[in-house]
A and B are shown apart, each in its own frame.
Chain A
Amino acid sequence: MKKDVSMKKILFAATVVIVAGAIVGIAITNNANTENDISIAQQEPAAGESETMTQENPIQEMTVEEGVYELRIKDHIFTPDELRVPAGEKFKIVVYNDDPTPEEFESDDFRREKIIAGNSKATINVGPLEPGKYHFFGEFNLDKANGYLYAE
């Protein structure tokens, strides 16, 4: 089993290096964050708009243009957290991340994953979907960031 010493070397290096990598990541992204803060002010009016819209009608299309649906992330919570989308058609979801921290918009049910930097947006192409309920989530905040698509 002499050669298996090499595996131990890798295992040890892997653990050390991963922790170190995370620390480097923190340091680097911290710098990126300060740049992002400037854009918060610009985005706030838009955020207010969507809030009033969702209060009136919690489950609704929020269609901006044909086949485009909008979601916002604030404090790691999706608004709205439920969307009705057409089954059997392609559509887009624009996710606005109003948090300063990055999020990964992900769904195992409709098989998409996309990282959205803090204070920015991303467009996700989805479908065509079979009729049904589809879970999506923010992978970096699994306890809070959850929502559903209803394809009908």
Chain B
Amino acid sequence: MFPTATIVFREILEVALVIGIVMAATRGLPGRVNLILAGLGLGILGSAIIAFFTQSISEAIDGIGQEVFNAAIMFTAVAFLSWTVIWMKTHGRQLAQNIKAVGADVVSGKKSAYVITGVVALATFREGAEIALFTYGMTASGAYTLAQIAMGGAIGALGGTIVGAMLYFGLLKASQRYLFTVTSWLLIILTAGMAAQGANFLIAAGVLPAIVPQMWDTSAILAGNSFLGETLKVMVGYTPKPTGMELIFYSTVLIVVGALYKNIGRPTKPNAAQSLAAE
């Protein structure tokens, strides 16, 4: 029971933290719960499919299929998350001011909102597939009964979900006034971390050079597999031994998406609209 609980907790934690931040960041967006639930459902369906095709994925592209696939998931998530942050910024002010008044506007931008579904689905794919494979292994080995595994899985899932919920409610409580700004920056930092993880998969695939194999080693201070280490890995992309390439990806995303976020939605836009209307 315990190994199941531990593994499931570790995997769910990543998904739960992402959902927790996305939930807080999209507060006020109508229909966000359904968008997120759809993402979760899609993610679970996808992870079952990925688990089933594990071997085929691994053997693809001369044996580096799994690394490339994982990197692709990461970079797609990076694109979706960046889009979410920027899209929320353009609608965020209206959302914060008066939810009802902007209803129509948001509905017209509904297609963009599906990106949130994509983000959640992508966050679920890898972890969900790992849970499926692990659970299958546990059942097949016969060391534990199905009831023990289900129980362990439920405990792990509950634990992970509680941490995600704590993050969500914590964010709401701690930063009521600046919630939108705080959650947006949290998402940008999380996105940078995902880009770095994606880069590490491509290094593992041999597609990208590490440039510097080990920039520093902070594993003595904070181990990557500790609870805090894993939490920070998801939230800020913490890793005790980053490579030079990861640092480049991390800072590039941080700077580019950060700059876009800061500069988008400035008064220049209404002016442009006005001048267009004048013509």
Cβ of A40 under 8 Å from chain B: no
Cβ of B190 under 8 Å from chain A: no
> In the complex, what residues of B have CB within 8 A of residue A43's CB?
none
- For the complex, what is the distance from the CA of A79 to the CA of B204, rounded to whole Å? 23
A14 pairs with B161, CB closer than 8 A: yes
B204 pairs with A112, CB closer than 8 A: yes
- For the complex, what is the distance from the CA of A103 to the CA of B63, rounded to whole Å? 16
> In the complex, what residues of A have CB within 8 A of residue B51's CB?
25, 28-29
> In the complex, what residues of A have CB within 8 A of residue B52's CB?
28-29, 32
The winner among A6, A22, A28, A123 for most chain B CB atoms within 10 A is A22
| 8 A Cβ contacts from A108-152 to B | 108-109, 111-112, 114-117, 120, 122-125, 127-130, 139-143
Cβ of A104 under 8 Å from chain B: yes
B140 pairs with A100, CB closer than 8 A: yes
A10 pairs with B66, CB closer than 8 A: no
- For the complex, what is the distance from the CA of A136 to the CA of B23, rounded to whole Å? 35
Which residue of A has the minimal Cβ distance to B217? A130
Q: 1/0 per position for B1-38, CB-CB distance to A under 8 A?
A: 00100111000100010010001000100001100110
Please tell me which stretch of B100-108, B129-137, B268-276 contacts chain A, meaning at least 4 of its Cβ atoms lie within 8 angstroms of it.
Answer: B129-137
A122 pairs with B137, CB closer than 8 A: no
Cβ of A58 under 8 Å from chain B: no
Known contacts: A24-B48, A114-B58, A125-B204. The answer to whether A17 contacts B134 by CB under 8 A is no
| 8 A Cβ contacts from A2-59 to B | 3-4, 6-7, 9-11, 13-15, 17-26, 28-30, 32-33
| 8 A Cβ contacts from A68-111 to B | 76, 100-104, 108-109, 111
> In the complex, what residues of A have CB within 8 A of residue B210's CB?
128
Which residue of B has the minimal Cβ distance to A112? B204
A143 pairs with B165, CB closer than 8 A: no
> In the complex, what residues of B have CB within 8 A of residue A120's CB?
55, 58-59
- For the complex, what is the distance from the CA of A10 to the CA of B136, rounded to whole Å? 26
B135 pairs with A25, CB closer than 8 A: yes
Give, as a whole number of angstroms, the nearest-CB distance from B77 to chain A.
17
Which residue of B has the minimal Cβ distance to A36? B55
B219 pairs with A109, CB closer than 8 A: yes
30 A-B pairs in the complex with CB atoms less than 8 angstroms apart: A4-B172, A7-B165, A7-B168, A14-B157, A14-B161, A15-B154, A15-B157, A17-B44, A18-B12, A19-B157, A22-B135, A26-B132, A28-B48, A30-B139, A30-B140, A101-B137, A103-B137, A104-B134, A108-B224, A108-B240, A111-B200, A111-B239, A115-B54, A115-B66, A115-B130, A122-B58, A124-B204, A127-B213, A140-B137, A142-B7
